[in-house]
Amino acid sequence: MRLANKTAIITGVGAGIGEAIALRFAAEGARLVLNDIHAPGGEATLKKVRDLGAQAFLAVADISQEDGARKISDTAAASFGGIDILVNNAADFTQMSIEQAEVSDWQRVLGVNVIGTALVSKYAIPHMKARGGGAIVNIASMSGVIAQADFATYNASKGAVLTLTKCMALDLAPFRIRVNSVCPGCIVTSASYREIERMGLTFEQWRDQIAPLHMLNRLGEPREVADATLFLASDEASFITSANLMVDGGYTGR
């Protein structure tokens, strides 16, 4: 098993990509501390990973708040004695243009996607240093490297995550903590269905518009992002840091 005897934190596990990462890590032997802001979704994923035989605990917390971010690492330290891996997956999907967005919209999306990522990392890093190293994977987005109409809030936040990843990688390299990011393309999740509803489309209409934008001419699945995240978190990626792995079906390669 690729993550045997490793303790991993995964944020935003209630559905979609976060749930897929939790299940993938559980199958590879990781001890897990799962986080979600919503208890029902987090508890459902917790049950699934335990059914796979994983040792796992749930920390229900808002990562945009310092106490919430600290709670997650405290849970890991109390439950398993330390932290080896952190996956910053939790995200807010506020997608608006500059003209549409209010201050509260910016505070929400930056609070989760940027500040939340930074805070959870801040409290996990000392435990990784005490272990003699570790791996952090930040789930960014292809939206962080391209322009999309009326997506300024979300794209700006994910662009910040990519820069944050590089800065963290530089600062933490002396402590043998690797920091990388994954940029998913259009992955079918519950967030996709919210976007489809906002656009007033059926799933088929949306798929037929979006899929051809990818070189592979299809949409992605959460498990495909989970596989990429597993690689970067594992010892197989021991000489990889400050990298951004595009899992976008070739969308940004055109």
Supply the angle between the helices 16-27 and 222-233 in degrees, to the nearest 10.
50
- Cross-strand bridge partners of residue 221: none
Asked whether 214 and 250 are in contact (CB, 8 A), the reply is: yes
Asked whether 203 and 194 are in contact (CB, 8 A), the reply is: no
Q: Annotate 15-42 with DSSP letters as a single string.
A: SHHHHHHHHHHHHTT-EEEEEESSHHHH
Active site members:
154
Q: How many CB atoms lie within 10 A of CB 96?
A: 16
